Amino acid sequence: MDLGELEHHHAPKPTAEDGLDVTGRPAVEFPEPTPKTSHGPARVIAVCNQKGGVGKTTTTINLGASLASYGRRVLLVDLDPQGALSAGLGVAHHELELTVHNLLMESRISADDVLLRTRVDGVDLLPSNIDLSAAEIQLVNEVGREQTLGRALYPVLDRYDYILIDCQPSLGLLTVNALACADQVLIPMECEYFALRGLALLTDTVDKVKDRLNPRLGMAGIVVTMFDSRTLHSRDVMARVVEVFGDAVYRSVISRTVRFPETSVAGEPITSWAPKSAGANAYRALAREVIAQEK
């Protein structure tokens, strides 16, 4: 990917008067989704970035909760041994007897054995804890090791409209499992210049999985996080991301906000913790945009 000389390419600040959104493109309104009369089969989305601290888990939780608020049934899969997704939903994951690790490594364990209802109406969880860190090594000698997660999720696909998989910040075997069973990849990207370079490695991995393991794998989109419209740097990076990736960049942008750290401590999504906040509105807008892709 040729990233060009970003520091010499200064983007003007888009304004509502221009008819432009914060990505610098003509503004588009996504309508309130119509309610679902039936559910499934699920659209499986791997939320993926090999760099940590980009808002991946925050996006998984809040996009999931926002999709559920529009009447979609959602399953969240915690595929990170740190268990941040589980903790962010108020689950005491260190104390759990059964987690995604058991689901992947023990054939007698089904998704229903591991599944938890969350505090969020319409959102279920397959939780994880540090036990999952052993799975990378344990899976190496398994036959069909890249399809282990897909086989485990197959029996519950018809129950949900969306399955969002929170991947760990690496491109190891667990992340490959997520990509091998996903319909699409959603990439949260911190609005920093160096994050652009990491995208090249990630999109290369996605292309390899598509070529060798999962021909249906597509791009849901790139969601820009930690955006600050007041800074020239943020606007420059945004302009470059849109220039390189075009319509693959979601129009919904997640700005920097103090509310997100509070919600991870509270153990609930920002959409219920601070429903009128800019962060909650941004994730509801992203959910509308994701749902609009269904057609």
Instruction: Quote the domain boundaries for residue 263.
Output: 35-292
> Looking at the predicted structure, is the pLDDT value of residue 117 above 70?
yes
Asked whether residue 120 is assigned to any structural domain, the reply reads: yes
Asked whether residue 181 is assigned to any structural domain, the reply reads: yes
Q: What is the mean pLDDT of residues 111-140?
A: 95
Asked whether residue 15 is assigned to any structural domain, the reply reads: no
Q: What is the mean pLDDT of residues 228-234?
A: 87
Average pLDDT, the chain: 89
Give the model confidence (pLDDT) of 80-93 as tens digits: 999 999 999 999 88
Q: CB–CB of 26/19 below 8 Å?
A: yes
Give the model confidence (pLDDT) of 8-54 as tens digits: 445 555 555 568 888 888 989 898 998 888 998 999 999 999 888 78
**Contacting residues for 154 by C-beta, under 8 A, at least 6 apart:** none
Strand-pair category, 123-126 with 218-225: unpaired
The number of domains in the chain is 1
- pLDDT confidence bin for 5, thresholds 50/70/90: very low
What is the pLDDT at residue 230?
86
- pLDDT confidence bin for 260, thresholds 50/70/90: low
Asked whether residue 11 is assigned to any structural domain, the reply reads: no
Asked whether residue 5 is assigned to any structural domain, the reply reads: no
**How many percent of the chain have pLDDT more than 70?**
90
What CATH number corresponds to the domain at position 187? 3.40.50.300
Q: Which residue has the higher pLDDT, 233 or 72?
A: 72
What is the pLDDT at residue 188?
95
Asked whether residue 16 is assigned to any structural domain, the reply reads: no
Q: CB–CB of 169/178 below 8 Å?
A: no
- pLDDT confidence bin for 194, thresholds 50/70/90: confident
Q: What is the mean pLDDT of residues 145-166?
A: 97
What is the pLDDT at residue 7?
39
- pLDDT confidence bin for 263, thresholds 50/70/90: low
**Contacting residues for 156 by C-beta, under 8 A, at least 6 apart:** 42, 75, 111, 112, 115
Please return the burial class of 39, using the count of CB atoms within 10 Å of its CB with bins 0-12, 13-18 and 19+.
middle
Q: Is the pTM of this model over 0.85?
A: yes
Cα angle, residue 72 at apex, residues 295 and 33 outer, rounded to 5°: 50
Report which of 144, 156, 282, 162 is spatially closest to residue 223, judged by C-alpha positions. Answer: 282
Give the model confidence (pLDDT) of 181-192 as tens digits: 999 999 999 888
Asked whether residue 74 is assigned to any structural domain, the reply reads: yes
